Amino acid sequence: MPKTAIRRLTGAKVEGKRVLVRVDHNVTTKEDGSLKNDEKIRATLPTIEHLLKQGARLILMTHVGRPKGKVDPQLSTITVAEHLGTLLTGVSVMHTPKTVGPEVENAARGLKNGEILYLENVRFLSGEEGTPEQQKKMGKQLAALADLYVNEAFASCHEYEEASTCAVAQLLPAYAGIHLEKEVTMLGNVLQHPARPLVLIISGAKMETKIPVIERFLTKGDDILLGGCIANTFIAARGFDVGASKYEEDAIEKAQEIMLESEKKGRAAIHVPRDAIVASDAVDGAEKICLPVEDIEGDMSIFDVGKVTVERYKQVIAKAKTIIWNGPLGLYEINRFSHASKRIAEAVASATATGACSVIGGGDTIDFHVRYKYPLDAYSFVSTGGGAMLEFIGGRPFPAIEALRKEQ
């Protein structure tokens, strides 16, 4: 039976009502206390501004980090609330040092149309990620604050059920935020009705989270381009020495199975780097060289995809009609190991400009673009999810999203 559509926020009557919005403002700060980047916050602005324009009284909640049910002042939402205030002209953003309880309920009831109350970190409470009974209790406390609920936190929807994404959605009329709705629609269309060739560019440190996506794309896609530590594991699985590079020895057998499966008719081609940028250390003083993977040995560590491989990847991308990209290809934080990611960004942007549909996502992917000033609007869609994006396209059901679907 086909799934029913999620409830659209644009169809909700919110004037004069208290609207509880679960956002994903899980941003990191620099040593000076300023935000590393605010792309996640900006992605929620269309929903926030729509609700304010319609005369709603907003109550925002998010998690920051993983305090695991304990108060950690370093993970307070007050910095995020203050920054949000700088992005909204003429809007009062008040922060409460608590998340639930009588004091918060009184503050919520005192809101006027167009005002915002920003709650303290939901993960300061054990009920957020606790037992079903604890989540249910916290869900009731959150529901007591508002008349409606909106989920605008796609990046948090792949977590196990949580009070702020699932329990409260069962107790209030629940709607999808504008960007979350776009996430579900865009990612769903890319998988169900993609223009071909469909290319997946995937990188990262852990095979565990990437294997379901790669396996699904073997039957759904046309080409899979590998980078990062994942690529190192596949290089090792081909029988090459990866020197001192990071890779997952216990995942080699699985990588070999995936490569054998890709050789079957009708399966996507797996592209493993043929050369790499290596050095004995990531520090600036260490000499770096580009070598074929068969020449890597000793204390050499792979820090980026090699130039020959980048050219091969660019050729695949140039022919693509649909591109999904999650994860920079190398140790992008260090400029001299960001070459491959920069060339891939340019290739995907160029393909998009000539008609391809491109979807990029993941915290590191976004950070790479912000760090090196590569425009995010060069792509068809930018997902706010990293793990959520991968698990969604990997086929995992999301209880938090199911809670937003209309009743039949």
pLDDT 10s digits, 293-309: 999 999 999 999 999 99
Smallest Cα–Cα separation from 302: which of 274, 260, 324?
274
**68-107 tens-digit pLDDT:** 999 999 999 999 999 999 999 999 999 999 999 999 999 9
Q: How confident is the model at residue 395 (pLDDT cuts 50, 70, 90)?
A: confident
Amino acid at 127: G
Task: Please give the Cα distance from 129 to 388 (Å, whole number).
Answer: 17
Residues of the chain with CATH 3.40.50.1260: 9-181+398-402, 196-355
**Topology annotation, domain 9-181+398-402:** Rossmann fold (3.40.50)
The pLDDT value given to residue 212: 87
Smallest Cα–Cα separation from 9: which of 49, 45, 50, 56?
50
Q: What is the mean pLDDT of residues 276-302?
A: 91
Please tell me the CATH code under which domain 196-355 is placed: 3.40.50.1260
**144-203 tens-digit pLDDT:** 999 999 999 998 987 678 999 999 999 999 999 999 999 998 888 887 889 999 999 999
Q: pTM of this prediction?
A: 0.86
The pLDDT value given to residue 406: 61
The pLDDT value given to residue 408: 32
Q: Which two tokens stand for residue 244?
A: 């001192």
Burial status of residue 140 (CB atoms within 10 A of its CB: 0-12, 13-18, 19 or more): middle
DSSP string, 291-352: EEGGG--TT-EEEEE-HHHHHHHHHHHHH-SEEEEES-SS-TTSGGG-HHHHHHHHHHHHHH
Whole-Å CA distances, 305 to 30, 231, 334: 28, 9, 14
- Residue with the larger pLDDT of the pair 53 and 284: 53
